[in-house]
Amino acid sequence: MRTPFFTIVARNEQGRAGVLHTPHGDVETPAFLPVGTYGTVKAILPRDLKDLHYTMILGNTYHLYLKPGEEGIRRAGTLHRFLGWDGPILTDSGGFQVLSLSRLRKVTDEGVEFRSHINGSLHFLTPEKVIEFQQACNSDVMMPLDHPAFYPASGAEERACLLRTYEWLVRSVRSMRIPSAQALFGIVQGGFTIKHRLESSERTQKLDGHLQGYAVGGLSVGEPREQRRSLLQELVPHLPMEKPRYLMGVGTPEDIQEAVKAGVDLFDCVLPTRLGRHGAAFTSEGRLNLKQSRFSLDVSPLDPLCSCYACTTFTRSYLHHLVTSHEILACQLLTLHNLHFYRQVMKTLRERILSQSG
C-alpha cells in the first residue's frame, strides 16, 4: 500500500500548512520551487539552494528531453544524480513549452509533433512518452502532458484544451509503471472561464485514485490579474481537500500570497531568477532596478531587512556597478537575494497559518 503523500498540519482563512512526503525527503508547504528548466537553477549552486533551505526544485521535461536526452539521464542513474541534487524534484510535462517555443508544431489527439528550438530536429511527444521519460528521470512528482489555452481564447478553444488534457491524463495513468514511488498530479485546464475550469476539475477527479495531487495550469499567460485571482478563488475549493494543490508558473510574491489564502500549496515561477539576471531585486521596499543611476552612490544594503549574503556584504552602489559592468557576479548575487526573499515570503506565510491555528 502506498504511504501517505501529503499531510495537512493546519488550515484556516490564511491558507494551509502541510508536508509533502517524497522518496527524497519532506517538503513543508506552502512551498516555492525554484525553476531548473535545463537541469540547473540559473546563476546559483545547488549548495546555495540548500543553504537557503530550499528542499524541492523543478525540472522541465521538454528541455531535458531535447538535451541531454533520456539516455544521458539514464547513464547517470537518475535525474537527481545527473544534477547533483539529492532533494525532491518535480518535473513539469513540457506541455506549455512545446506549444509556445517550438517551431512548426502540430497538435493532434495523439500528441504533439514539433521541431526542436535547438537544432530543428523533428520530434513527436505523446502522453505515454512524457511519462516514460519522467520515470527514467525518477523525479518525485510527475506532470502529465497537457494542452493549455493561451489568452485570449474562445470558449470552443478552452473546452477543446480541457478535453484533450483529460484524455491525455487517462493515457498517462494507463502508461505508468506500477507500482511506482513517483507521484502523478492531474492538471486542470480550461482557459479563463470558471465553467470550463470546473468541468476540467470534475473530469480530472474521475481519476482521483491514481493521482497524488492536483495542478492548475495555463495561467499567467497574459490574462488580467484580477481575472486570474477570481478564477482561483472559485476553482480551488472544488479540488480535493486532502491532496496538494499546485499553481503552475505563478508568480509574484503578491500572486503567491493571494493563492495561498485561496488554498494553494505549491508554486513555481522563473521571476526571481530571471529578474535577478536582469538587474532587478525584490525587497521590503518593493522591486528595485539596480541599473538605475540613482544607486551609483548608494552605500546602503540592497534590503536593510534582509539577512542574505548579498545584503549583509555588499552595497547597492557595488551591485549597481556589477550590473552595469555586466559582471557575472551581479547575476549570482541578485539571484541569491531574490530566492532568499521568496523563501522568507513562504516561511512567513506558513508561520502565519500555524500561529492562527491555536
The cell numbers describing 75, all together, are 547513464
Task: Tell me the pairing of strands 112-115 and 103-107.
Answer: antiparallel
First to last CA, the chain: 33
298 assigned to active site: no
Instruction: Pick the catalytic residue from 140, 255, 265, 268.
Output: 268
Omega prior to 152 cis, within 30 of 0? yes
Q: What is the DSSP string of 246-300?
A: EETT---HHHHHHHHHHT--EEE-SHHHHHHHTTEEEETTEEEETTSGGGTT--S
268 assigned to active site: yes
The cell numbers describing 122, all together, are 523533428
- At residue 21, what are phi and psi to the nearest 5 degrees? -110, 110
The candidate with the shortest Cα–Cα distance to 290, out of 254, 335, 252, 253, is 335
Using CB atoms within 10 A of its CB, is residue 66 exposed (0-12), middle (13-18) or buried (19+)?
buried
CA gap 246, 317 in Å, rounded: 38
Contact 214, 240 (CB under 8 A): yes
CA gap 29, 104 in Å, rounded: 39
Instruction: Pick the catalytic residue from 92, 140, 146, 255.
Output: 92
The cell numbers describing 231, all together, are 478564477
Task: Tell me the pairing of strands 112-115 and 122-125.
Answer: antiparallel
Return the active site residues: 92, 268
